[in-house]
Structure 1
């Protein structure tokens, strides 16, 4: 059998692998610069004007055979991992980067020479190509000339190219200079010589170890003034360090996650956080150390062995930082919402390796990595690390906000002059200069507070809109369930008596005894009595479901005040015990006074229905589950202790139990992560708070509620 090979025209190759393969001119020049690096050159000089682009390197060069067998062999790359005897990792691997020439111009000339060899000249207009020997005035290296340029190059285009190179190239092994109109632009990595207090306030270092499937989060912060150290506890506003088992974090959310976590390889990230200009009022209130730090909002760069992967570097939000912030727009001060970092507040780089992270593959169009399962796991790990910073910073801001709000209450009490003035404005005439000065200062304080409140209101409005979106979805599903429940409720008699009616009919017609014989019950799916018995169980559960749904949405439940907490809890317990015979719930009431409480029964329904459901869902494999609810009343507050004897918290929450209160936080593959968030939201709405969450011999949560 004769061996055959595809034949393709040069112009088609130039079109497909050149013009269509490079999304912009900057990435095409960048690709040719990478060839200089792979050739081992210590210098790359790029000359650009309106007529040509010339790229010069002083690397290995090529001889006649190299051009024929390597340069002209499309899709062939003889490059391994590193240059022999060097730490320089080869950037190329696909054997198509040379077609960047076609993206930049209609003609190209490549002059090259190996040390001690004969120089060669290859020319093409992408219809015809020629190769010949030539004479040159250099000892070794390669000069590329691109003619009949496809793009115009102006000063602004050069600035864009230089900015792209600064973001996309960071090696010190080869210097790169771009020359345009007599001016030399030396490329210096954008993250070189960054200074804390000038360019950023916080550095976030992430280290992922694939062998241990462990992520280390190391945060070094200088965002707040020294006074904050003494004010807040037990958090340090300067340092955070923790390690996380990512297999536990993923749980069962992705199949074969252990395989992906180990095969993805180890990698690291160094990220920087900086606030934009902060209003004076907020700057003072939260005791920030710096204001209006200088950074260019580059974003997070994906870097592999000193080179960026994406041709859209700096333009593509590959981690979806912006959309995360839109989905959870809460201010850092918000008591239950999750603050998310904004796109213009974080920059830095994620560093991977060509060999270590070989399963993270390039997209053919050079716009990033293939978005497969490895990529999704990779992104999740990085975003998880960022979320640890977000939670850490929000905890600090919340504490400062609480302290400042208490101080403000005391300060409000001291505003005597303003109260006197408001009661009788004419008193200002008889005030001394010192008293007028105090009055003016109090008025300024109020003006600052109004501005701050307006900003806070705007931020809270965004969070409330998100909360309402979630609750609207839940409410809509609830209304749909309610509508169906009403329809089924009208057929309650059929659901209750259907089983008995069918059995009685079969007995009357003389079939029932025969259907119960061994002959007709041997095969389970043909076993009529068993099928009917199963349907009876489903009907019972369905009737219980209807009773619960229709009871929970009665209008009176939202209006009536409770006169007995123990009684209200026992009412909730009855509905659950009725549905789950393997469930025992004990209610213990201490020091309760018969009184009209400020809360209505629906508040307790929301809290305890979610807690009980949470216990059931996490302990479905247990034969018996016992829940104990203790309630105590003191100083206008209701103190609750809720415990179960189940499996307790998932491993990933042991170090940080209150994390389960965050929105969409779940360890269940089919979970929505809303139950505990709703509990926490409800408590805050009614002046309560989660005091402690523990996981020893079951699940334990202690909280209070204004009575």
Structure 2
């Protein structure tokens, strides 16, 4: 029998420094670190998550001696008179959620990689009191704080308690020469609460890394707010969860694309995978056909959609296309052009295909995709709604689990593979398309994130998810290609029709020639009437005097209109786009029609006057004037 004591037996131990290694590699940046703490606020059923950033915060050696010497261990033992308060900065993330009791603090928060929110194997996560599915179940969120600062402090209490408990530790104590159990945890004296109904938790990070960057106003007010906005779904607010960033006396709300901006999308798609079917709903706007340029593409667009007759003919052509009918397009009564509503039957099992071997149903999920036409006109409209084209280009199509981003390959949906060059601008381009796929822990437990939240584990459910997402995308691209071909065909037919008829310039030329001929007729008629009026017959002259005055007025008006036509003609030569716009100015045609009607009326009066003069002349012999 061995005489070795249990302490002398070979055994495994873990250096405290391994935690630092984990934390450094766990997340890639400050934004993700903050997001991990925000997730804990969400899980605590809070309504508001408030983030206070205070880079000017000072640690005092008298008020906070333990924290001070933890940050500056080399100053320990020096004269208190020589110790100066030091600007170190801090970040506080505060919620009014459930808070934690002593047992939760000791056995969950202080136990690395432990989480009470993690479900038993094969079971679903238990929902919170308000029905939220917990998102922070890795038990590693607090490790991410070492990206932000040197000390992490927890202050928490539950409803009904009279005091708040507080403790902290320093990442600087996680050294290679210590076992994990030897890292000191500092317990602070409990503080009394003013109201027993007060509850919630505060996480404070003290001793900010890269302090100078935090001191830059633009870093927080612009960069941090923008980047955090990308990490959080715009629909979290519908679940009663709001994130506010306090800095320099200002409060910044996490911002998202407004409905006003999203309504400017050329196409909007909503996909739902459930019960073996991909349900497709969406809206297609006229902007889909505008193209990306403002030259020929703009002229073609105006020819079709700024002409009521052509627009109706194009819509009729599309809806009668056999291939289009499978997408169940209907004319949209809103400012859009069409709505679509159809189902793509997949079946109970995912088809086995190349690249998706052994794929399985990942569970129900949904997606919303918005495609923007970033022409000059569209960019101006987006700018008016507070959105830049750069924001559209940098957002992409993301995956949110219960409202929080899972970072993944930017082009995971394969849009760049579909992109073609030249005049084919109807595919979903990666720089013009934004949106998100919504998954959840409850419905999609088989979609497992890696510990760093940067990707998914490549398993059967993930391959099934990829297959279905790309299948939905392919169906939409197929529809867009059909629409593209029909649009190009319609333009070709329209050009053929227009080549057989007169061009805008020809129409103007014909109008000018008509006006010129009418002018000659008017002048000859007036001269004839004036000659007849010289007859010594007062009755005949009086009968045509009013006609002469009216015809003179018409002639003057005709000369004005002719000058206007000359002006238009000079400005449309060689300008096809301007010619098209002149088609909208139907006033020229209306004016010509109006004058024509007036000439007919005056011609009848003229004929009556001439007939009267002829009757008088027949009853009198000609007179000779000397």
Partner of 2:190 in structure 1?
135
Answering whether residue 421 of structure 2 is matched by residue 329 of structure 1, we say yes
How far off is 1:446 after superposition? 7.7
Aligned residue runs from structure 1 range 39-188, under 5 A: 39-50=44-55, 51-79=89-117, 80=119, 81-117=125-161, 118-126=163-171, 127=173, 128-132=183-187, 134-138=189-193, 139-151=198-210, 152-153=213-214, 154-158=216-220, 159-169=222-232, 170-172=235-237, 173-188=240-255
Indicate if the aligned counterparts of 1:19 and 1:103 stay in contact, CA closer than 8 A. Answer: yes
1:523-580 CA-partner distances (Å, limit 9, x unpaired): xxxxxxxxxxxxxxxxxxxxxxxxxxxxxxxxxxxxxxxxxxxxxxxxxxxxxxxxxx
CA distance in structure 2 between the partners assigned to 1:58 and 1:398 by the alignment: 57
How far off is 1:181 after superposition? 0.8
Indicate if the aligned counterparts of 2:155 and 2:167 stay in contact, CA closer than 8 A. Answer: yes
Indicate if the aligned counterparts of 1:162 and 1:187 stay in contact, CA closer than 8 A. Answer: yes
Judged with a 3 Å threshold, the aligned counterparts in structure 2 of structure 1 residues 95 and 220 are, in CA distance, closer, same or farther, namely same
1:636-690 CA-partner distances (Å, limit 9, x unpaired): xxxxxxxxxxxxxxxxxxxxxxxxxxxxxxxxxxxxxxxxxxxxxxxxxxxxxxx
Answering whether residue 474 of structure 2 is matched by residue 387 of structure 1, we say yes
Aligned residue runs from structure 1 range 505-520, under 5 A: none
Match for residue 273 of structure 2 among 204, 208, 224: 208
Partner of 2:372 in structure 1?
274
1:141-187 CA-partner distances (Å, limit 9, x unpaired): 22221112123312232222222332332423332211111110122
1:435-461 CA-partner distances (Å, limit 9, x unpaired): 674465251018999xxxxxxxxxxxx
CA distance in structure 1 between the partners assigned to 2:577 and 2:225 by the alignment: 49
Q: Secondary structure at the match of 1:184?
A: strand
Aligned residue runs from structure 1 range 354-365, under 5 A: 354-365=441-452
Indicate if the aligned counterparts of 1:42 and 1:174 stay in contact, CA closer than 8 A. Answer: yes
How far off is 1:322 after superposition? 3.1
Indicate if the aligned counterparts of 1:330 and 1:340 stay in contact, CA closer than 8 A. Answer: no
1:72-91 CA-partner distances (Å, limit 9, x unpaired): 21121111424444211111
Judged with a 3 Å threshold, the aligned counterparts in structure 2 of structure 1 residues 293 and 442 are, in CA distance, closer, same or farther, namely farther
How far off is 1:419 after superposition? 14
Q: Secondary structure at the match of 2:445?
A: coil
Structure 1 unaligned spans of 5+: 284-289, 334-338, 422-430, 450-707
How far off is 1:302 after superposition? 0.7
How far off is 1:6 after superposition? 4.8
CA distance in structure 1 between the partners assigned to 2:564 and 2:339 by the alignment: 47
Indicate if the aligned counterparts of 2:271 and 2:278 stay in contact, CA closer than 8 A. Answer: yes
Match for residue 400 of structure 2 among 283, 303, 309: 303
Judged with a 3 Å threshold, the aligned counterparts in structure 2 of structure 1 residues 370 and 21 are, in CA distance, closer, same or farther, namely same
Partner of 1:25 in structure 2?
30
Q: Secondary structure at the match of 2:437?
A: strand
Partner of 1:240 in structure 2?
340
* Aligned residues: CA RMSD: 3.7
Q: Secondary structure at the match of 1:365?
A: coil
1:197-238 CA-partner distances (Å, limit 9, x unpaired): 4x32322010111x42x2111122233559535423324450
Indicate if the aligned counterparts of 1:122 and 1:132 stay in contact, CA closer than 8 A. Answer: yes
Normalising to structure 1: TM-score of the pair? 0.53
Aligned length: 416
Answering whether residue 284 of structure 2 is matched by residue 221 of structure 1, we say yes
CA distance in structure 2 between the partners assigned to 1:36 and 1:254 by the alignment: 42
Q: Secondary structure at the match of 1:443?
A: coil
Indicate if the aligned counterparts of 1:417 and 1:435 stay in contact, CA closer than 8 A. Answer: no
Indicate if the aligned counterparts of 1:275 and 1:291 stay in contact, CA closer than 8 A. Answer: no
How far off is 1:344 after superposition? 2.6
Partner of 1:316 in structure 2?
410
Judged with a 3 Å threshold, the aligned counterparts in structure 2 of structure 1 residues 416 and 149 are, in CA distance, closer, same or farther, namely closer
Indicate if the aligned counterparts of 2:396 and 2:431 stay in contact, CA closer than 8 A. Answer: yes
1:581-621 CA-partner distances (Å, limit 9, x unpaired): xxxxxxxxxxxxxxxxxxxxxxxxxxxxxxxxxxxxxxxxx
Aligned residue runs from structure 1 range 361-376, under 5 A: 361-376=448-463
Q: Secondary structure at the match of 1:124?
A: strand
CA distance in structure 1 between the partners assigned to 2:313 and 2:31 by the alignment: 51
How far off is 1:63 after superposition? 3.3
Structure with more contact order per residue of length (Cα contacts < 8 Å, sep ≥ 6): 2
Q: Secondary structure at the match of 2:489?
A: helix
Larger Cα Rg: Structure 1 or Structure 2?
2
Indicate if the aligned counterparts of 1:111 and 1:121 stay in contact, CA closer than 8 A. Answer: yes
Structure 2 unaligned spans of 5+: 56-88, 120-124, 174-182, 288-304, 330-336, 510-561, 581-626
Judged with a 3 Å threshold, the aligned counterparts in structure 2 of structure 1 residues 321 and 253 are, in CA distance, closer, same or farther, namely same
Answering whether residue 574 of structure 2 is matched by residue 443 of structure 1, we say yes
CA distance in structure 2 between the partners assigned to 1:398 and 1:119 by the alignment: 68
Q: Secondary structure at the match of 1:308?
A: strand
Normalising to structure 2: TM-score of the pair? 0.59
Indicate if the aligned counterparts of 2:45 and 2:130 stay in contact, CA closer than 8 A. Answer: no
How far off is 1:101 after superposition? 1.7
Indicate if the aligned counterparts of 1:191 and 1:348 stay in contact, CA closer than 8 A. Answer: no
Indicate if the aligned counterparts of 1:162 and 1:185 stay in contact, CA closer than 8 A. Answer: yes
1:31-51 CA-partner distances (Å, limit 9, x unpaired): 111111212222221111221
Q: Secondary structure at the match of 1:9?
A: coil
CA distance in structure 2 between the partners assigned to 1:85 and 1:358 by the alignment: 20
How far off is 1:309 after superposition? 1.8
CA distance in structure 1 between the partners assigned to 2:227 and 2:93 by the alignment: 17
